[in-house]
Structure 1
């Protein structure tokens, strides 16, 4: 356990009265800290902070300030080591692409409504981010999981680095693995994450993102197996249909996150990090507008009532056991 230098006049948590750090009581309290449970109450590999020293994953903060980009720092914080420039560049494309989708997105609309209710910028942002759940905001994570299953099935359980990712099993052709996955979803009548869009017939973010992934595959930055799985999914989902079912932003960024080796859970976290920029921008814009209590629809519009017609309150109408 490390302790800070004495700081006369500060207080210790758990004491009703201020206790000087140089007092005998303080010295006795520190001497009593012998339990490993107490000494290691917080342990972390992420940051090493002590007076005059700040290190993230072992890298001095002054070095990061001078040399690292924000995206490189994000990668380092969650992965533990610096990415290559090409890896960082590909990650940056995914973060840029998902930054906003306007008030059509429930998280943005909710953040803007909250901003008119006097909760402050932080409250508006937390409202928007809090809506990014399994249905709105979780498709990227779900698509990464789907692509990982397909790659594992088509490679006998090995990922792009050759590690056993899903246990040893007999590999099946990718086309068959995709067909089986689609059939299972259709039997369950479940949504296939990462494909199709309720607003765009063709998501404008898909093509440039996949172009950058292809360039990364050609340069040997990523292996390309998850890209191949996503493209096969897209082809089979669109086969025989008058309107194709292209990848959306969740599918395209899922390809990037999976190719770069991020876990599915981190894929959602990175999406939330990206979308938080849009939440911030919209929250701030609405805050500056000065509007108060803006609801989910214009005042002249009323929700459709589906309950009982107007009726009188009498003893005869009260429910009885």
Structure 2
């Protein structure tokens, strides 16, 4: 059948540089998929689709480290707990994974994006001619005026997040090798130092996984919203594994608490200040 004017309108409506699909043709960012299969890693393909070009091996390795670090944080993480409960409700594995992914919002899952925004702001103010330490203090003050939580720092569970040091060591090495500039790494460490001034004898506030991965995503040139998107890709692996495990345990309608704790007596919540 001869293509008509409407076919051109549809093509323009769905125009994209990400992929080209025609009969017998599949191209990802102008790369034939048959040339990528068996030669290009999954992480490299993620970079290709998001950035429009293949990464250097060192860039892909640094991105992969951040993705590996964020895959799982156990069933106490709301996204994973929700996926496990959903997996017992007869919704299917895809819906269980979607349930978990949809829990990754501003509070649970969004700190990486917010931390990139924080570090970007420090770097931007410093680039405009401000003294670095003053820029750090000013930006921290502005963020803390809005919330007592500073994204990327402190952890409710870990005194010191075991993922932090290996990731920052890799970024240090990347700075030495000239792979990244180190501007966001410097900003993150300055924030950490500032938060711990005068806290002798108190619980320290170290950088956490969200801060360390935010440094990597920002140093590699990913926009702040993609820090959340990349975390979603990473955590979806753990969500899938937990949902799959739960499907094999035979539970039905799993609740947030064991049956021995049900019924729960009503407790009137204390109003917020």
Say which SS state the counterpart of residue 49 (structure 1) adopts: strand
The partner residue of 1:104 within 76, 81, 94 is 76
Distance in structure 2 (CA, Å) of the matches to 1:84 and 1:31:
43
Matched, 1:251 2:204: no
Matched, 1:216 2:191: no
Q: What's 2:88 paired with?
A: 116
User: Aligned-pair distance for 1:32?
Assistant: 4.9
Structure with larger Rg: 1
Gaps of 5+ in 1: 1-21, 157-170, 308-321
Does the Cα contact within 8 Å between 2:44 and 2:54 map onto a contact in 1?
yes
User: Aligned-pair distance for 1:180?
Assistant: 1.1
Gaps of 5+ in 2: 269-273
Query: Relative to 1, partners in 2 of residues 1:61 and 1:300: Cα closer, same or farther, differing over 3 Å?
Result: same
Distance in structure 1 (CA, Å) of the matches to 2:90 and 2:118:
41
How many aligned positions are there?
A: 265
Per-residue deviation, residues 273-304 of structure 1 (Å, max 9, x unmatched): 00000000000000011111110011222434
Higher RCO structure (Cα 8 Å, ≥6 apart): 2
Q: TM-score, normalised by structure 1?
A: 0.80
Say which SS state the counterpart of residue 26 (structure 2) adopts: strand
Say which SS state the counterpart of residue 27 (structure 2) adopts: strand
Distance in structure 1 (CA, Å) of the matches to 2:35 and 2:10:
32
User: Aligned-pair distance for 1:186?
Assistant: 3.2
Q: Pairwise CA RMSD of aligned residues?
A: 1.4
The partner residue of 2:15 within 43, 47, 61 is 43
Distance in structure 2 (CA, Å) of the matches to 1:86 and 1:97:
17
User: Aligned-pair distance for 1:213?
Assistant: 0.2
Distance in structure 1 (CA, Å) of the matches to 2:197 and 2:130:
21
The partner residue of 1:305 within 262, 266, 269 is 266
Distance in structure 2 (CA, Å) of the matches to 1:114 and 1:198:
25
Matched, 1:72 2:72: no
Tell me which stretches of 4 or more aligned residues in structure 1 moved more than 6 Å. Answer: none
What does 1:151-162 correspond to in 2, within 5 Å? 151-156=123-128
Q: What's 1:58 paired with?
A: 30
User: Aligned-pair distance for 1:33?
Assistant: 2.5
Q: What's 1:316 paired with?
A: none
Say which SS state the counterpart of residue 55 (structure 1) adopts: strand
